[in-house]
Chains A and B, each alone.
Chain A
Amino acid sequence: MEDRFGIPASAFDDYLMIEKSRSRWLLRRSPHLKSMLSYKVSSWGMKAFQRVGHFIKPTTRVIQVFGTLATRAVVQLGKGQLQCMIDGKDLYIESALENGYVILALEDHVLGMGLLINGRLRLQIRKSDLKPLSPGLDA
């Protein structure tokens, strides 16, 4: 997160990282946590990262929380560009960013993750979360 997005490692000091299979979960540290060891727990905090091939991909949820701290690899989208991506089209952008995961933002709002490969930008947000993100949908 620090290397790619400039999110300082210290942002996670108050959290415990729990690795389970290909996923990593983030849970706020608490003195009560040792009590948890005697229970059968089905999920710990927020699913924060997932291993995809050789990469560790942040989830939409964790990037919506910590993405505001990012200083690089952030792509600011216009409403038209976001709608285009929600409609399933890839977006081509001119960017000096290296290939890899990027944070997608609309104005001040961190939306989630995108994948940038040779200027082609693809949404990395679950379909179920896409519809409300449509900037054209008001009340």
Chain B
Amino acid sequence: MSMPTNAALTSIALGILLTAAGLAFFWKNSRTPQATWAVTWTAGGILAVTAALLWLAGDDLGMRIIAMAAIAAPLPTRYRHEPAPRRGIPIMLPALALTAYNLPRALDPGRGGALYPPPSLTGALTALGGGMAARALGEALSRLLEPQIPGSWLPDVLALLITICGSSIALINLWRYGSAWGTLPNASGWTAVWIVWAAVWLGKRARPRINAALTALAAAAWIAMAAR
């Protein structure tokens, strides 16, 4: 039985991401950060192509999951000069988990097809925001494990973009369904995700670990909603 293209590409991307994690964990060399960085960008590229193929195939949920993984997979540029390559592993975890989660779905030939409608504006915003949430989750995990790492501007940019995505989804739900929560179960979830993101920013002045834990919670909530 031939393997579907999407499943093959998802497997390859998962393999490449595992290679990147292995490189960062085991390979002690001055070139390790650059090599790991390049490998994660390759995985991100393959995942982006897979997401496009899934979109063409009409698998809305699969497209959302893989698009999130594609956005979350590439390591940030600052990682190229990272003296401790293992610090990149928590950042890769969300992309790894999302790709692994979608693999059984991709291998199931019954998924996708013409059963699903093409992605809507909300679907695109969900995938985009979910990808950034997965990145924010990686950054938060990294800060939770090693709070002494100097801060970067990336979490703030992600928070800004996620706030814009979240409020857009809440406004669309409000005007389309008449309520930001209650009418549809998912609308309540999106409002919850948006509220918890607002709380993350308010709690920014709290201790770094609490802030990182809140960010991880908010990001996980977004990903769980997007992968439903």
Partners in one complex: no
Binding site for A on B (CB under 8 A): none
